Every structure is written in C-alpha cells, then in structure tokens.
Amino acid sequence: MTALELDHLSKRFGGVDAVMDLSMAIAAGCVTGLIGPNGAGKTTVVNIVTGILSRSGGGIRLATRDLSGLKSHDVARCGIARTFQNVQLLRDASVLDNIVIGFHRHVTSSLFANLVGLPSVWRERAVFRARAMALLERFGMTEFAETRAGALSYGHQRRVEIMRALALAPSFLLLDEPVAGMNDVEALEIGQAVRQLAKEGIGILVIEHNMRFVMQTCETIYVLDGGRLIASGSPASVSIDPAVITAYLGS
C-alpha cells in the first residue's frame, strides 16, 4: 500500500527547532491524526510537506517519488491536497465557482484556447461544473451552489474548502483543523465524510484539537510536543500514554 512518508524531517526557524527528527507515515486509505498542544509544530509539518516551507533536514517520499524540495504547486500536482487553518475562499464568488478553481490541476486546454475562448474551454469548464455539483451533492450542499461563499456559515465554508481540495482528485488530503469552530453534530458529519473518503482509498492526515473527533475518526495518531514526536499508535494507546497526558495537562 502506498504511503506518504516523512523521514527524519526537521525544521529550524533561526534558533528555534520547530520540528525535530520527525518520521511518520500517512497510509493510503487510512485516517491519520496529528495532534499536540498549541505551537507543537503540526501546521509547520503540513507546510513543509506541501512545499510552502523548505525543510532543514530529512526527506518526504510519496511511494517511490522524492517530494522533498518540490515547489508547492508541483506537490499539489503529485496529488497532495490540503485545507488551511483559516478558511481561504473567494468570498465574493459563488460556492460553485470556488470549487471549480480546485479543478485547475485537470485543465488540458491550452493557454491560447483560454485567452480567445475556444469551445473546448467551455466544454471543459462544463465538465468541471458538473463534477463540482456532484461534490456539492455528496456533502448535501446542492442548494448553496449559487450562494456567495462569504454568505455561508463557518461550518459550510469549511466544507466548501474540503470540496475544493477534493476537486484535485488527490491521493492524499491534509486537513488543518477541519472541525474547528463546528458544533458536535457538524463535527460528527465531517468525521463520517472523512472516513468515507479514506474508504475510497485517499490517505488522510487530520490536524485537530477536538479530541473526541480525533479519537472517533483516526486509526493512527501521532503526537507532537515542542516539535518532537512523543507518542504514536492507536487512539486507545495514545490516550493513556503518560507522555501525552503530561504534554496536555502538565506534570
């Protein structure tokens, strides 16, 4: 089974070690959790994997392919999609248009065709729109297709962001706090959707502070504290790990 593997990854900001010697694997078809107190380096890990930050040491591999040092857009083109801690949507554009942007990776029409508006471009866009509608249907948001993204509730905006990431048809999906600010019912629904996506073969990494969500959704959990991996394993084993309890509650 393919996996997205981090191999002795490290990142220094000036004199601060944000991530130290982190090795972990995000398996295809599984939901992997990355948790830890604020400032543990979780988002830094995602930013390194997606090429936004350069790494100070170590490597990133997708199956046999070396991803370390790739530019951010090339990482996306390898099939690694992500969402952001703060929702990043085009507030003035419709929900549908926001999702259509996610299909950019699949554009086959030439630049010239797009500049002069050849029919092939509109056919391609129509396909993207239809696939975006299918995503909306799957997430129960069909009636919001033409709504301005900025007018949606926070929970719905998060869902649109996930749909936009899914538009890439990713093999791995990195979700940075997908249920932050959601109530329990909404979080449960997102959890179900995430597990369903994993069943379809996508490898998912979830960064989350909502412990109930993490425990219910993830099969494997990695715990970071101060940039260092302090525990990993099943939700049951991690939740009784003394090092984890100390990191969260203090000694």
Partner 1 sequence: MTMLAFVSSYTPLFDLVLIYSLIALSQYVSFRGGVLSLAPAGFTLIGAYTGAIMIKSTGLGAMAGICASIAMGACAGLLLALPLARLRGVFPAIATIGFVQIVVSLALYAEPLTGGAVGLTAIPKVATTPCLVAALAAVVGLLSVINRSNVGSAFDAIRQDVTVAESLGIRVAHYYRVNFALSGAIGAVAGCLLAYNTYAITPEEFGFGMLVFAATAVILGGRSSIAGAIIGTAILLVLPELARPLHDQRLLMQGALLIVIITYLPQGIVDTARELLRQRRSVRHPVVPARKVAA
Which residues sit at the interface with partner 1, rule CB under 8 A?
50-52, 71-73, 76-77, 81-82, 84, 88-90, 92-93, 97, 100-102, 104-105, 107, 109, 111, 114-117, 121, 124-125, 138-141, 143-144, 147-148, 151-153, 155-156, 159, 164, 168, 186, 189-190, 192-193, 196
Nearer to partner 1, 39 or 150 (CB): 150
CA distances from 48 to 75, 175, 227, 249 (A): 10, 14, 13, 28
The SS3 call for residue 94 is: strand
Query: Nearest distance from residue 215's CB to partner 1, in Å?
Result: 19
| Ramachandran category for residue 163: left, alpha or beta (phi over 0 → left; psi -120 to 50 → alpha) | alpha
Query: Cα-flanking dihedrals φ and ψ of residue 219, to 5°?
Result: -95, -35
Torsion of CA 20, 21, 23, 26, to 10 degrees: 30
Residue placing its CB nearer to partner 1 in the complex, 162 or 229: 162
Closest CA to 160 of 177, 179, 143, 135: 135
Q: How far is the CB of 198 from partner 1 (least distance, A)?
A: 12
Q: Rounded to 10 degrees, what is the CA torsion of 14, 246, 85, 3?
A: 90
Distance CA 217, CA 169 (A): 21
Closest CB 142 distance from partner 1, rounded Å:
9
The span from the CA of 148 to the CA of 156, in Å, is: 12
Is the Cβ of residue 97 or residue 241 nearer to partner 1 in the bound state?
97
Of 93 and 245, the one with the shorter C-beta distance to partner 1 is 93
Q: Cα(37)–Cα(205) distance, rounded to whole angstroms? A: 17
240 residue type, one letter:
I
Minimum CB separation of residue 201 from partner 1 in Å reads: 16
Q: Which is nearer to partner 1, 127 or 243 (CB)?
A: 127
Report the nearest approach of partner 1 to the CB of residue 60 (Å): 15
User: Of 56 and 109, which has the nearer Cβ to partner 1?
Assistant: 109
**Least distance to partner 1 from the beta carbon of 77, Å?**
5
